[in-house]
Chains A and B, each alone.
Chain A
Amino acid sequence: MTARIGVVTFPGTLDDRDALRAVRLAGAEPVSLWHRDKGLKQVDAVVLAGGFSYGDYLRAGAISRFSPVMETVIDQARSGMPVLGICNGFQILTEAHLLPGAMLRNNHLHFICRDQKLRVENAETAWTAEYEQGREISVPLKNVDGRYVAAERVLDELEAEGRVAFRYLDLNPNGSLRDIAGITNAEGNVVGLMPHPEHAVEPLIGTGGTDGLGFFTSILKKTVAT
């Protein structure tokens, strides 16, 4: 039996089908979840995909965080279910206070789409166990509200506890504090990042690399093992 990984579709979610494909390519069973349903269809883990849920009205992720599906996701995440938030999903996780900090408009004020180099700073989370610590990976980045900010105290705490999961390399594309591209909660089950690993899972497609596949094979191993 393989792991069942859910991908939530909110109105305005864009990368849900890509995330489902990534789950399938990793060998897990993709399960579509709908924002209005509280039930999670017995999935072992959840991916909150990128996009502009609810049109990003008010603030990116601010409305989605109150959707019926998120009530269950928040509950279960607190009891240890692995959750990965990509881009808009990361924004939703911070709005839901599952992860600290917030995302502001990029410092250059433009949408930016590029092949981004990252360093995996924490290879012990549920979503990064297949990487080695310090591994440099290349995955697409695309956002307009991607500048990670948090209070100095919070940043120090994240650093001290090894909870900075990914850092931008070569170029900080949006002015994120301390080059932070993604973080994890203390338990390592909830991870959020701005770049898009689900777009780097097949040779030829996108940037042509498969550096993002490790997120999905990590969770497969983790959930099947437990």
Chain B
Amino acid sequence: MTLDTVKHATETPESELPWKELGLKEDEYARIREILGRRPTGAELAMYSVMWSEHCSYKSSKVHLKQFGEKAPENDALLVGIGENAGVVDVGQGYAVTFKVESHNHPSYIEPYQGAATGVGGIVRDILAMGARPVAVMDPLRFGAADHPDTKRVLPGVVAGVGGYGNCLGLPNIGGEVVFDSCYQGNPLVNALCVGVMKHEDIHLAKASGAGNKVILYGARTGGDGIGGVSVLASETFDDTKPAKRPAVQVGDPFQEKLLIECTLEVFREKLVAGIQDLGGAGLSCATSELASAGSGGMRVDLDSVPLRDATLSPEEILMSESQERMCAIVEPRHVERFMEICEKWDVIATVIGEVTEGERLEIFWHGEQIVDVPPGTVAHEGPTYHRPYARPEWQDALQADDAGRLPRPATSGELREQVLKLVASPNQAAKSWITDQYDRFVQGNTVLAQPEDAGMVRIDPDTGLGVALATDGNGRYAKLDPYAGAQLALAEAYRNVAASGARPLAVSDCLNFGSPEDPAVMWQFAEATRGLADGCLHLGTPVTGGNVSLYNQTGDTAIHPTPVVAVLGVIDDVARRTPIAFAEEGLLLYLLGDTREEFGGSAWSQVVHDHLGGLPPKVDLDRERLLAEILISGSRDGMIDAAHDLSDGGLVQAVTESCLRGGKGARLVVPDGLDAFTFLFSESPGRAVVAVPRSEELRFTDMCGARGLPATRIGVVDGDAVEVQGEFTVPLGELRTAHEGTVPALFA
């Protein structure tokens, strides 16, 4: 086969190219021809097709994502906003923190171990590319029904992949979620978050400037794994009639990534890097076009110099390969020798593959002949924009009318007790320690809080005690009932979790997991959820700093529940003031903060007891969330509360169960006036938390709540070795523990 050079393409304008097979639409292909003034070469077509795919170009979502910029709250802390590898936030004392959550959903269904592992690897490189040392990871995971046979295939693989990769990198895994719902049966959601820390002056950006500067590819050799992974995997739904796509999933090597991290941090430390980009989706196509388009000049790359694992790869395959553990750095010629020395020290292969040029073109050569000659911005940023039609689905009204308030409630105390045990033992509410104990949460020696705490917290300065807290939350059931409210409820919960740990919420990253954008109903869910999240972030003053969209999470015509997963980052001046969830001392007084209403739409109770999803989700009140957060943070800072737990899915009884079991102490609860025991225990009204207050601080605490207008109701005391709801029932801690901690091991061990 003759090499399809630029010259050849000019001479053979009528040659047919497989643009359709590569996922491009007719008008998109016409646009490429228009940009180039000729037909693209095979290599150019490969680059455009992969960079213009849904995964890389956000073509269906970007008209909606714009809101995150347009409605961004004024926030002095934001140092780098949306558009870079990850956003960067000022956390004080000269430190900056970067964090992002991303999806690796489709690969994880096909090949759970590698899909999940490379999901961790990818997000870690994003954080590293900003100039930061990665300091922790978290994994929000969603699977099909807990008792479905395929979940037994997918879950252990995903968990082993997350652990196998993250544990070998030396990054503590400090939290996340594990949710089961049959809507995720063929489409598990494997999201991964990484957070990194740097000094302000160490921020690095992905741009190639300065003619004559060298383009250095370093890390693993390029192989045949993950070729077309981006366009093939992210743009199609799973369909039984198509052949298996296993080879399209990348294979990770965490040992290589660990070396890459240390090597990269060392070249940063010596200030050898002018620009840097990790190689993730779309591999070299993405890295070279993004670096070149963000810089001031052009770029010339010699593909023959790329170190290969498989010498038979074609230039198109080299450009599209998603081999893991690779980075691309722009280095001034005077620093190249030292850069190479550091790579050699860490046994990392590094190769000059090109240089920054004076021109404005990205030019790529193979065997001395030019195969790519494009304006890089057209590849990286001028992908198509779709205004997909969206419409509120017809079934939405009926779904909302199916009020969960009408479901039969427990008639006797005995039945109430039975339902409490059933709830805390249900797969979604049960303890996840069998899973999280497969992750290293101690490494790096800075972990202050980790799962099952409300938020993960790591110390970033051992001398001052400065730390950051992170929580990720999402509730697809709420979002299905009302995507606008559902997104805000996810935001509110993560915000509340961070505040409950004692940290001040600062910024947001999101991973928006939805079905096919070609379905107007799904597109409506997406539009509503993004609008809700953008409005919510504006209201709470926490900007979205970056994130990820994962579409086509559906099997046949059935989409997953719309699942916006929201990560909130907070800062705490001294981690010594952190608030744990554990009720660890007898005599502490328990206060319920906020208002409890009869809100059961989308609740855990409605799912566990009635297998029901209908009605409206709980009502969001963001002003209340902010007030609650202020109280929780003040209470922590001024030593007024010993423990706090946010109230969310499962309601008060879930929170009390977790706090009692964590602290190894029981609680005596009294149903407050005006509430019935059922609503008291199971309602999922947001804007609430339960706190444990030492007697000596009671007056000061209630005065503070009273002065600021936050309802605080005394509901009991930490005491004994049972959870007792006075006048209703008693459950010994042992029985509670067996119920809560036995479920997950029984299913998966």
Contacts and interface: CB of A to CB of B under 8 A. Distances in A.
Contacts of A204: 448, 459, 575-576, 578
Given A15-B170, A205-B445, A52 B749 contact: no
Given A111-B167, A205-B448, A11 B442 contact: no
Contacts of B160: 110-111
A54 B749 CA distance: 30
A55 B253 contact: yes
Contacts of A57: 255
Given A14-B170, A15-B170, A204-B448, A55 B255 contact: yes
A192 interface: no
Interface string A181-207: 000000000000000101101101111
B437 A51 contact: no
A17 interface: yes
A18 B164 contact: no
Interface centre among B253, B440, B575, B749 (most CB of A within 10 A): B440
Contacts of A113: 436-442
A12 interface: yes
A43 interface: no
A221 interface: no
A202 to B, nearest CB: 8
A201 B446 CA distance: 11
A144 B167 CA distance: 10
A112 interface: yes
B34 interface: no
A86 to B, nearest CB: 12
B255 A18 contact: no
B438 A14 contact: no
Given A142-B443, A205-B448, A52 B255 contact: yes
B214 interface: no
B168 A52 contact: yes
Contact of B442 (A17, A56, A199): A199
A21 interface: yes
A114 interface: yes
A18 B575 CA distance: 18
Interface in A130-144: 140, 142, 144
A32 to B, nearest CB: 12
Contacts of A201: 445
Given A15-B170, A111-B163, A111-B164, A54 B445 contact: no
Interface residues of A, number: 33
Nearest to B253: A55
A108 interface: yes
A15 B443 contact: yes
Interface string A43-59: 00000001110111100
Contact of B255 (A22, A54, A114): A54
A137 to B, nearest CB: 15
B358 interface: no
Interface in B241-255: 253-255
Interface residues of B, number: 34
Contacts of A51: 170
A56 B164 CA distance: 12
Contact of A18 (B256, B436, B445, B749): B445
B347 interface: yes
Contacts of A56: 168, 255
Interface in A67-112: 108, 110-112
B432 to A, nearest CB: 13
A21 B459 CA distance: 14
B438 A110 contact: yes
Given A12-B258, A51-B170, A114 B437 contact: yes
A11 B440 CA distance: 19
Contacts of B253: 55
B627 interface: no
Given A12-B258, A57-B255, A205-B459, A21 B438 contact: no
Interface in B433-478: 436-448, 459, 462
A11 B448 contact: no
Contacts of B163: 111
Contact of A205 (B259, B437, B438, B446): B446
Contacts of B462: 21
Interface string B565-591: 000000000011010000000000000
B445 A206 contact: yes
Contacts of B254: 52, 55
B437 A198 contact: no
A50 B440 CA distance: 12
Interface in B211-270: 253-256, 258-259
12 contacts: A12-B255, A15-B443, A52-B254, A55-B255, A108-B749, A111-B440, A113-B442, A142-B167, A142-B442, A202-B445, A205-B445, A205-B448
Interface of A: 11-12, 14-15, 17-18, 21-22, 50-52, 54-57, 108, 110-114, 140, 142, 144, 196, 198-199, 201-202, 204-207
Counting from the closest, the 4 A-B pairs by CB-CB distance are: A55-B255, A14-B170, A18-B445, A199-B442
Given A12-B259, A142-B442, 5 more contacts: A11-B258, A54-B255, A112-B438, A140-B442, A207-B442
